[in-house]
Amino acid sequence: MPKAPAKPPQPAGKPSNKHLLAELKNIAEGLGKTFAPFCEVVVHDLTHPKNAILAIENNLSGRRVGQPATELGLARIQDPDYPAVIANYANQFADGRKVKSTSVGIRNEEGDYVAAICLNVDLTLFNGFQAAMGQFTAIESSAVTETLDAANADRIQQCIDEFAAARATTARSLRPADRKQLVQDLKKAGYLEIRRGAEIAAAHMGVSRATVYSDAK
């Protein structure tokens, strides 16, 4: 009996976005935990614009899962050439709080936008910090002048800060080996020989003068 002819292969359908969206939800959860409580992270499913919001971490905007896409999301749906990353743009929540937002569009293998992940940073607290720091560091005008060995201190502190910055850290967080190298450099440059040099260096690094003398040996 002759064999029946083989069936032609079925055309492959469009790949599902379920796995991609699940991974984006994981990413949003991780970002939300890292930047809590100041940053809201939202996952949008752009294939369902009327119910686009798929997940919200650190809900600061008061929106709900299942709500529609924003204007930016609709723009991506309508224009495949819309920028993939819109970073640090001004925004605000419904109650007027100022927000710094970043939106990242996610394309499928065919180049169509199918999702987006958005970060919304509440600037309210940071603006409060900024105002408080501005008040704290404000200096009133006065006819009184005083020099607290500023020239020497500035030079030594600048040298220490530059050394620490080159190692992506701060003066008080230097590892002992790095601190010893720094003190050796200060000694070679003659900074420890000037008046109060070791004391200034020790205070800026948060160590004792004895430690500086020990590192200088």
Rg (CA), the chain: 29
Same domain, 181 and 94: no
pTM passes above 0.75: no
Has residue 60 been placed in a domain? Answer: yes
Same domain, 41 and 75: yes
Same domain, 51 and 119: yes
Which token pair is 117? 């992940």
CB count within 10 Å of CB 164 equals 20
Same domain, 112 and 164: no
Q: How far apart are CA 214 and CA 217, in angstroms?
A: 6
The candidate with the shortest Cα–Cα distance to 24, out of 101, 87, 118, 121, is 118
* Phi, psi for residue 89 in degrees, rounded to 5: -95, 155
The domain total for the chain is 2
Same domain, 22 and 120: yes
Has residue 65 been placed in a domain? Answer: yes
- Where a domain ends, among 70, 91, 125? 125
Residue 155: domain span: 147-216
pLDDT in tens, 23-78: 999 999 999 999 999 999 999 999 999 999 999 999 999 999 999 999 999 999 99
**Please, which residues bridge with residue 53 across strands?**
44
